Every structure is written in C-alpha cells, then in structure tokens.
Amino acid sequence: MSDPRPAPAKPAVSRRPALSPLQRAVRRYFGFSRRETSGFVVLVLLMVLWLWLPALLRPALPAYNPAADQRQLNALAAELAARRTARPQFASRYPRRTYPARPRVPQVALAPFNPNAFSALDWQARGLPAWLAERLVKYRDAVGGFRAKEQLRKAYGLSDTTYARLAPYLQLPDQLPPREGRSYTRNQPGQYPDRKPFEATPGRFPRKPTRLAAFDLNTADTTQLMQIRGIGRGYARRIVEFRQRLGGFLRQEQVAEIYVLHDAPDLVDSLRKYTFVAAGFSPAPVDVNNASFEVLQAHPYVGKRLARVLVAFRQQHGPFRQPADLRQIRVLDEATFEKLQPYLVLR
C-alpha cells in the first residue's frame, strides 16, 4: 500500500559562484548600493550644473568698438599739444656760454724735435689735446725750459702712453745732470765791512732752562710748569685746574689722568722727572655726606652720574658712616673706590 503523503521538497541550490575573501572585502568597502549610486549620479549632475550656471546667467556682452575711444584720445592729445605750444618762453636766468670752436690742427708725423721751441699748436700737431698743449707750454715757462725728459714726464695730465710715444723723439737727456757740490768758506774778519755783527734779539717766547730743579707739583703755578719743555700755557692751565678739582696730587702718576695728556706720554715723563709730591701731603677732602651735587660732580673721580647716585642714596638711607658703605653703590667700581678713598671724609 503506497504512502499518501507527498515527498519533501529539496532545497534550492544557488547558482552564483562563490566569492573569494578578497572580492568580499573589496565589495564590502567599495561597493555601492542602488540608493547610493542614485545619489552619486544626482551629485555629479548638480556639480556640472553649478559649473555651467555662470555662463548661462551671464548676459551676452556687446562687441567692443574702439573708434569712439580713439577719437577721444586724439582730442586730448591735440589739446595738450596746443597748451604746450602756447606756453610762454621765459629767458634763462643764467645764459649758456658759448665757446668759439677751436681750429682743427693738421697732424704731423713724429720726428726728432726740441720741446723748448714748441708752441701749443706744435704740440697739438703731434696728437696732444689743446688743454694739454697749453699746460705743457706754461709748465716749460715756469721751470725755465726743459733740461731733461724726466721733467716732461712729471707734467700733470701727460699719460704714460703719450710720453712713451713722444720720448724717443725728444732731443733731451733722460736725467738731469747731478748737482755740483758747493764749498762754503768761513767769513774772514773784515771781508764784509758793511755788515753789522750779529746781535741776539729777544724772541717772542722765552727760552726754557736746560737744567731745571725739581719743584713741588701741588704748589707749582703755571709759570713754573711752563719751564718744562713741551708744557705751554694751555697745558699748564689744564694741570692746575685738574689739581684744584682733585684736591691735590697724592702721586706723580696721577698727571697721566689729565685728558689733554692722554696722548702725550713724553710730557707725562717730563712732569714726573721735574716734579715731586711732598711727603705727608694731605689733599683737600670731599665730604660725601654734606657736599652738594655741584661740588661732588666737579671731582674728577666722581662725575655727574656717581654724584647723582650718592645724593639720592644718602637721602634714602641716611649719611654714610664709614667709607666701606660706599661699596653698596653698584655704579661705583672697585678701581674708582680705591682712587677716591684717600679723598673721602665722613662728617
């Protein structure tokens, strides 16, 4: 007896070929769906329309005709030309000088010649310009005639090339003759009876002594200082002024600090040779607690900048109690402090 139930249907088998892993990866990351493909096409159409839109909306320009502009330009040019011709001509305030034309001198072939007998035209006939020919004639008259070729070679404006071209034809020696030595004889008594015997006349400046005794540098005046060779009135005055502002010299080496003697070491050596500083000399003190700004800035070792700082420091911090307190001032270096310390006094 047969089974009335139908037989189960067999599953449908896909006919698509199997994809490799590489193809599946490419399709997964670079494949487009139907919706994405439609959107991409619409986007491309919009971009093309956007590029054509300016050309579609721009109105058509008329053809350019330059005839009207050319006529206007010609009219402006004619107007400017009319104004230029109608402008009044003013006479120049400084008239231009006119020089007569120099005559053309025919050239002559070079031959031996004596330059002392040449005129300016003769030089021009040998190829020299007019200004150089006139200069050579004046130079010859000034030296009393050429005696050698080397004199002509020293003429200003005569180039070496021109001299080399003329030198073989100059009828002159190359060098000047050597000078003859002169013999001088002592005047004999009675040889010149009309002459008066020589008398020494006092000069404008008194002669300085050859042997000078040393003197005190702190008590010397300008007259004593001027006895030293090389020390004039100006140097002596500067030395005395520096000594007064300093309060006196403690050492002879301090004269080298004078500004006018910076470039005169020989004068400094002369001052050291003929002067001395007395033992036990006490200079004029400088009271940094009570002295005014004008007094402080006049001292050679203080100056305006340090004097301004000293006055401001003592106003803010009170008077200085000892010389070492001045080391608190930054603008006062150690070398200046050592030079200034013998002149300090605190009251």
pLDDT tens digits for range 245-265 = 988 998 888 888 898 888 888
DSSP state of 261: G
pTM: 0.43
Residues 40-47 have a mean pLDDT of: 92
| pLDDT over 90 (residue 151) | no
Residues 267-287 have a mean pLDDT of: 88
- On whether residue 232 sits in a domain, the answer given is yes
- Which token pair is 34? 């139907």
**In this structure, are 296 and 325 located in the same domain?**
yes
The total number of residues written for the chain in this structure: 347
Beta strands in 152-283 (DSSP E): 215-216, 275-276
- Cβ atoms of 343 and 283 within 8 Å: the answer is yes
- Cβ atoms of 326 and 300 within 8 Å: the answer is no
Gap between the Cα atoms of 254 and 239, Å rounded: 10
344, with CB counted inside 10 A (0-12, 13-18, 19+), is: middle
Gap between the Cα atoms of 236 and 89, Å rounded: 69
- On whether residue 59 sits in a domain, the answer given is no
Mean pLDDT comparison of 61-70, 238-247, 325-334, highest-scoring range: 238-247
Q: Given this model, what pLDDT does residue 144 score?
A: 87
193, with CB counted inside 10 A (0-12, 13-18, 19+), is: exposed
**In this structure, are 302 and 272 located in the same domain?**
no
| pLDDT over 60 (residue 198) | no
* 273-277 contacts, C-beta under 8 A, 24 or more apart: 273/214, 274/212, 274/213, 274/214, 274/215, 274/227, 274/228, 275/214, 275/215, 275/216, 275/217, 275/220, 276/214, 276/215, 276/216, 276/217, 276/252, 277/216, 277/217, 277/218, 277/249, 277/250, 277/251, 277/252
Q: Given this model, what pLDDT does residue 326 score?
A: 85
For the chain, what percent of residues have pLDDT higher than 70? 84
Final residue of a structural domain among 134, 169, 204: 169
Burial 34-64 (b: 16+ CB within 10 A, else e): eeeeeeeeeeeeeeeeeeeeeeeeeeeeeee
Q: Given this model, what pLDDT does residue 74 score?
A: 92
- On whether residue 200 sits in a domain, the answer given is no
Nearest to 108 by CA among 166, 150, 195, 167: 166
**In this structure, are 341 and 293 located in the same domain?**
yes
Residues 206-212 have a mean pLDDT of: 75
Q: How many CB atoms lie within 10 A of CB 128?
A: 21
Report pLDDT digits (tens) over 70-97: 999 999 999 988 887 655 666 667 777 7
**In this structure, are 156 and 119 located in the same domain?**
yes
Helix (H, G, I), strand (E, B) or coil at 115: helix
Final residue of a structural domain among 276, 297, 317: 276
Q: Given this model, what pLDDT does residue 84 score?
A: 77
- On whether residue 229 sits in a domain, the answer given is yes
**In this structure, are 290 and 333 located in the same domain?**
yes
- Cβ atoms of 173 and 148 within 8 Å: the answer is yes
Q: Which residues neighbour 240 within 8 Å (Cβ) at sequence distance 6 or greater?
A: 221, 222, 225
Rg (CA), the chain: 54
Final residue of a structural domain among 243, 276, 309: 276
- On whether residue 165 sits in a domain, the answer given is yes
Banded model confidence at residue 4, pLDDT cuts 50, 70, 90:
low
Residues 121-130 have a mean pLDDT of: 90
| pLDDT over 80 (residue 48) | yes
**In this structure, are 331 and 305 located in the same domain?**
yes
- On whether residue 250 sits in a domain, the answer given is yes
Banded model confidence at residue 46, pLDDT cuts 50, 70, 90:
very high
What's the total number of domains in the chain? 3
- On whether residue 66 sits in a domain, the answer given is no
22-31, 89-98, 110-119, 243-252: segment of lowest average pLDDT: 89-98
**In this structure, are 126 and 159 located in the same domain?**
yes
Q: Given this model, what pLDDT does residue 320 score?
A: 87
Nearest to 19 by CA among 32, 6, 11, 28: 28
Q: Given this model, what pLDDT does residue 154 score?
A: 84
- On whether residue 233 sits in a domain, the answer given is yes
Residues 152-173 have a mean pLDDT of: 88
**In this structure, are 315 and 291 located in the same domain?**
yes
Burial 278-298 (b: 16+ CB within 10 A, else e): eeeeeeeebebeebeeeebbb
Query: Average pLDDT of the chain?
Result: 82
Domain membership of residue 127 as a residue range: 115-169
Query: Around 159, how many Cα atoms within 13 Å sit in the side-chain half-sphere?
Result: 6
Q: Given this model, what pLDDT does residue 241 score?
A: 93
